[in-house]
């Protein structure tokens, strides 16, 4: 095997909810939840990814299941480094990570601070990277969605992840204007859980809330009022209880989060230069990220902005694909003083 085959550059979408790793020349190799289970007494890692996610809400007192990423940034530095090392090793498979350390491009929210960005780079190097660069998440999503980011034309991307929603207008290889808000998939799950707690006095777990969102969640007016049985703990008796909820109730609970996202889109449009605004009216707005798959969300945003809205082909993988494709421009990478305008020069 030639020496070049030992060098595998990686693109990592280190998300609040999920981590995806793109290996240059191979595509996305790893897709797992950004979750880790640790033994509180010994400090040992019990499980990472899917195995750890299956433990949520089901662990004994000595095991803690945590999500080291919060709102798109690192909340627990050491745990994030351990998780990344696990995923990088998994992506590299049989090759020794230390025999040939990869160069890594990792995506970050456009509203990230310099300190938060440095933490991501340091954690990536601690996990085994030779060198690490960052790319703004909405720019990566735009590349992954197949938008003409290098051309002198305006493209608008709305990336709704687990911890953040990133709205950006991209043109000529960079971000012209952007908005990053910490209202996204996790907030929607929390809103559903709070609604059920308030109206039914029933406590449900985060996995149950996410299932409800995915099965009967809807933005705006509900056309088919689906029903769903859910189980939880009755707050009055402390006993297990089953109730039936409707899509209309869930739509009501999601309303504030949807309004925040629409407001971010409108704010970004207001800051967009007129020439690029005209391009966006012609080309439409593209939605990416897991949150973009919420039923009817595209129609609600379109109604509010009077602009066509489309769902990206692979909404869950857009950022990872874009980060992976950015590996081809690593030598031409440069960082502007504004972290949200990080860009590649073709």
Q: What's the rounded Cα separation, in Å, for the pair 191 and 162?
A: 13
- B/e letters for 50-69, b = 16+ CB within 10 Å, e = fewer, are eebbebbeebeeebebbbbb
Between the alpha carbon of residue 260 and those of residues 167, 255, 273, 296, the distances in Å are: 12, 9, 22, 16
DSSP 173-207: TEEEEEEEES-SHHHHHHHHHHHHHHHH-EE--HH
Please give the helix or strand (H or E) that residue 311 lies within, else none: strand 309-311
Longest CA–CA span in the chain (Å) reads 67
Q: What's the rounded Cα separation, in Å, for the pair 340 and 110?
A: 4
Q: What's the rounded Cα separation, in Å, for the pair 200 and 206?
A: 16
Residues 6+ apart with CB under 8 A from 234: 201, 202, 203, 240, 241
Is 42 marked as binding a ligand? no
Is 181 marked as binding a ligand? no
Is 246 marked as binding a ligand? no
Is 212 marked as binding a ligand? yes
Is 164 marked as binding a ligand? yes
Is 16 marked as binding a ligand? yes
| Strand ranges inside 78-196, DSSP E | 103-108, 131-136, 155-160, 165-171, 174-181
User: In terms of DSSP H, where are the helices of 127-245?
Assistant: 137-144, 185-200, 206-216
Is 210 marked as binding a ligand? yes
Please give the helix or strand (H or E) that residue 56 lies within, else none: none
Q: What's the rounded Cα separation, in Å, for the pair 118 and 133?
A: 10
Residues 6+ apart with CB under 8 A from 186: 16, 17, 162, 163
- 29, 22 contact by CB (below 8 A): yes
Please choose, from the candidates 322, 13, 314, the residue with its C-alpha nearest in 3D space to the C-alpha of residue 173: 322
Q: How many CA atoms lie within 13 A of 13 on its CB side?
A: 36
Is 146 marked as binding a ligand? no
Could you tell me which residues are annotated as the binding site?
A: 16-18, 162-164, 210-213
Could you tell me which residues are annotated as the binding site for ATP?
A: 16-18, 162-164, 210-213
């Amino acid at each position: 095997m030639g020496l070049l085959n030992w060098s595998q550059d990686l693109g990592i979408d280190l998300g609040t909810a999920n981590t995806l790793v793109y290996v240059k020349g191979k595509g996305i190799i790893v897709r797992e939840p950004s979750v880790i289970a640790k033994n509180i007494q010994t400090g040992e890692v019990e499980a990472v990814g899917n195995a750890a996610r299956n433990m949520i809400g089901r662990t004994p007192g000595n095991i803690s299941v945590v999500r080291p990423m919060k709102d798109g940034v690192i909340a627990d530095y050491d745990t994030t480094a351990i998780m990344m090392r696990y995923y990088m090793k998994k992506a590299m498979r049989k090759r020794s990570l230390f025999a040939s350390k990869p160069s890594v491009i990792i995506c970050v929210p456009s509203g990230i601070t310099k300190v938060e960005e440095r933490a991501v780079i340091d954690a990536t190097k601690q996990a085994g990277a030779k060198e690490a660069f960052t790319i703004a998440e909405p720019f990566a999503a735009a590349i992954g969605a197949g938008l003409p980011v290098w051309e002198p034309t305006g493209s608008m991307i709305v990336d709704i992840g687990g911890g953040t929603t990133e709205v950006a207008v991209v043109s000529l290889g960079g971000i012209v204007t952007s908005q990053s808000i910490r209202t996204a998939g996790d907030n929607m799950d929390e809103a559903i859980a709070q609604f059920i707690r308030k109206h039914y006095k029933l406590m449900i777990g985060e996995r149950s809330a996410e299932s409800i969102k995915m099965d009967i969640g809807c933005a705006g007016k509900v056309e088919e009022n689906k029903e769903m049985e859910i189980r939880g703990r009755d707050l009055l008796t402390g006993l297990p209880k089953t109730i039936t909820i409707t899509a209309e109730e869930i739509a009501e609970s999601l309303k504030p989060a949807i309004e925040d996202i629409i407001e971010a889109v409108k704010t970004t449009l207001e800051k967009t230069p007129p020439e690029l605004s005209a391009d966006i009216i012609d080309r439409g707005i593209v939605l990416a990220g897991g949150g973009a798959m919420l039923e009817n969300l595209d129609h609600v945003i379109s109604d509010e902005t009077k602009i066509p809205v489309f769902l990206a082909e692979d909404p869950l993988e857009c950022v990872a694909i874009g980060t992976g494709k950015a590996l081809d421009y690593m030598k031409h990478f440069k960082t502007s003083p504004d972290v949200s305008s990080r860009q590649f020069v073709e």
